[in-house]
Chains A and B, each alone.
Chain A
Amino acid sequence: MSNVPDNLRYRDSHEWIDPMQNPSPVGITDHAQAELTDVVFVDPPKIGTQVSAGQQVCVIESVKAASDIYAPVSGEIVEVNETLSNDPGLLNRDPYLGGWIFKIKPSNPAEADALMNAEAYRKHIG
């Protein structure tokens, strides 16, 4: 059973965001990392990019395939997790803490409320 922390919000494409922090860290869920297995490369977004909710912002590569990562909310990318460039496997080992991918400064905080909460996401992956 995969781990779904209660304090996060989730997109149906398996990204999480922590809306209680500003800027908000974004990553992929434990379920997603288990499906991908063996992340070998993270192609991060550019700092300073303005993105809208649902926009494709970066790519994660496993041995088998490249997967698009989408912005859970609109805003500006203000930081990327440099550790992942040397240790992409961190995303498998610690998807919710060390394995965050980028931080976004939300332009419309209401968007996070529209995302799934933990209970809804658990049903989604059920």
Chain B
Amino acid sequence: MSDSSPLRRTPLHSVHVEMGARMVPFAGWDMPVQYTGIVEEHKAVRQSVGVFDISHMGQFIVSGKGAEAFLNRVLTNNIAELQPGQGQYTLLLNERGGVIDDLIAYRTSEREFFLVVNASRIDADWAHLESQLTKDDDVMMANASDFTAGLAIQGPKAREVAAAVFGNAGSFPEHNTILVTMTDNGPMWLCGTGYTGEEGFEFFMPAETAADWLSKIVDAVKAAGGMPCGLGARDTLRLEMGYPLNGNDLFEDRTPLQAGLGFFVDLEKGDFTGRDALVAQKAAGLPDKLAAFRMTGTAPPPRPHYPVAYDGQIVGEVCSGTQSPSLSNGIGMAYLPLSASAIGTTLEIEIRGRRFPAEVVKKPFYRKA
């Protein structure tokens, strides 16, 4: 997307402005980065509950007799393992094994799948899926992104909010499951997923109903001691868990093996796009891998593109980096040569020409007490 194209607005844009959000461009969308403050919103999610607008994310519906086989040919995880109602984290790769996108795929019925993809990759994902589809596949694809809004309710009190909003606790989706409901306005999807490390769910609905749902959910969230949260807190929450962000940590020239996502790649399930490249890379050895580090002394927060030094030499640059609100410590991730990526390795992060000590640590950065 070019920088000159106008920013897109979610159906909740005017509600955010009314709630006092500070709006910033993100992935081509004008999104709330914060309402009251990133640290306060971050802590609300860790301690009680928060609600996020995730309407910018994309939704594809892939159906038909050949849907399972097609998706297994383009995605890394084994989608045949999913029973109706179950979902999995998976990746879409190019021929070189590089990451086009990371996404969640759900089986909503025997022959229908619901994919949730990153906002910045909707067009690239769609184009890639179409390019992989052949006439014989017996697959239908629909892009529901433009008329679907989404809200994420995250935190230890998410279940309480769900009960207040949906009337009974039974409609709370368990982790990595999906509940689909038809309404007069179209389908609603309740997904037991999130991007914060807390219990919670992501709720996708027809765009024209989103403002009503948000106001109900904000009331319930506030009653539970939480607050609406912006993308700033979403970013610090996901990074504390070591979850990668596409474009920051995942790229078309890095494989999921380098990104430490081998768990979501099934090399035994049969052929899929990028598999040959992954098998070859595995045999040859990884050139580098995404390592997690934390600052060990008083230092400015590490930020994307800061140089990373090992043994005096610059060996990489920061991908995601921030000040962790839970740990009050700088944290980040960087692709580093294997010699520099073992847990406990001493690194230096170069910030405005000065080098500050850091060490390689195990993910996640944050663990619940």
Contact = CB atoms under 8 A, between A and B. Distances in A.
A65 to B, nearest CB: 8
A9 B236 CA distance: 36
Nearest to A62: B38
A59 to B, nearest CB: 7
Given A37-B38, A38-B38, A40-B323, A64 B300 contact: no
A18 interface: no
Given A38-B39, A59-B300, A66-B300, A43 B352 contact: yes
B303 interface: yes
B323 A63 contact: yes
Interface string A61-73: 1111010000000
A41 B37 contact: no
A49 interface: no
B296 to A, nearest CB: 15
A43 B323 contact: no
Interface string A37-51: 110110100000000
Contacts of B300: 41, 43, 59, 61, 66
A37 B34 contact: yes
Contacts of B352: 43, 59
Interface in A77-111: 85
B103 interface: no
A64 B236 CA distance: 9
B297 to A, nearest CB: 11
A63 B38 contact: yes
Contacts of B232: 63-64
- Which of A37, A61, A64 has the most CB atoms of chain B within a 10 A radius of its CB? A64
B325 interface: yes
Contacts of B36: 37
Contacts of A37: 34, 36-39
Contacts of B37: 37-38
Contacts of B75: none
Contacts of B342: none
Contacts of A63: 38-39, 232, 236, 301, 322-323, 325
Report whether over half of chain A's contact residues are helix, strand or loop; otherwise say mixed.
strand
B298 interface: yes
A40 B324 CA distance: 10
B33 A64 contact: yes
Interface in B308-322: 322
A63 B36 CA distance: 13
Contacts of B33: 64
A41 B34 contact: no
B303 A66 contact: yes
B141 interface: no
B365 to A, nearest CB: 15
B299 interface: yes
A37 B34 CA distance: 10
A40 B352 CA distance: 17
Contacts of A43: 300, 352
B256 to A, nearest CB: 29
B178 to A, nearest CB: 33
Contacts of A38: 37-40, 325
A61 B301 contact: yes
Contacts of B236: 63
Interface string A50-64: 000000000101111
- Which of A38, A61, A66, A85 has the most CB atoms of chain B within a 10 A radius of its CB? A38
B303 A41 contact: no
Contacts of A64: 33-34, 38, 232
Given A37-B39, A38-B37, A61-B301, 20 more contacts: A37-B34, A37-B37, A37-B38, A38-B38, A38-B325, A40-B301, A40-B328, A41-B301, A41-B323, A43-B300, A63-B38, A63-B39, A63-B301, A63-B322, A63-B325, A64-B34, A64-B38, A64-B232, A66-B303, A85-B298
18 contacts: A37-B34, A37-B39, A38-B37, A38-B38, A38-B39, A40-B328, A43-B300, A59-B300, A59-B352, A63-B232, A63-B236, A63-B301, A63-B322, A63-B325, A64-B33, A64-B34, A66-B303, A85-B298
Interface of B: 33-34, 36-40, 232, 236, 298-301, 303, 322-323, 325, 328, 352
Interface of A: 37-38, 40-41, 43, 59, 61-64, 66, 85
The 5 nearest A-B residue pairs measured at CB: A37-B37, A38-B39, A40-B323, A63-B38, A41-B300
